Amino acid sequence: MRDIREWLAEQMQDPEFKREYDALEEEFALLTSLIRARTRAGLTQEELADRMGTTQSVIARLESGRGKPSTRTLERYAKATGTKLRITLEAAE
């Protein structure tokens, strides 16, 4: 049975797949950062939602990438997880 890494390596040989995958890199990085901040804080989605004054389903949508969070939402998320929001602009490659 193949694992996901083998499948992904095979798919990355397709230039169209690779282009689309690479285009999502920044979004995946944000989602990973959100989930890591919450887990480092030792919070469940429900506990984080309580701290932010929202619902668990809103946190689930935020962490799944369904929708684009506002800067204000990201600031509230950071505060609730005891982290600092940093947004940077970097030169395109």
pLDDT (0 to 100) of residue 32: 93
**Cβ atoms of residues 34 and 75 within 8 Å:** no
At the topology level, CATH places domain 4-81 in 434 Repressor (Amino-terminal Domain) (1.10.260)
Instruction: Calculate ∠ Cα 74-25-7, nearest 5°.
Output: 130
The per-residue pLDDT for range 66-85, each reduced to its tens digit, is: 888 999 999 999 999 999 99
C-alpha pair distances (Å), 92 with each of 28, 30, 89: 18, 18, 9
The pLDDT value given to residue 27: 79
Extents of the domains making up the chain: 4-81
In tens, the pLDDT along 10-69 reads 999 999 999 888 888 887 889 999 999 999 999 999 999 999 999 999 999 999 988 889
- Where does the chain have alpha helices with state H? 4-11, 15-23, 25-40, 45-52, 56-64, 71-81
Can you give the pLDDT at residue 1?
Answer: 63
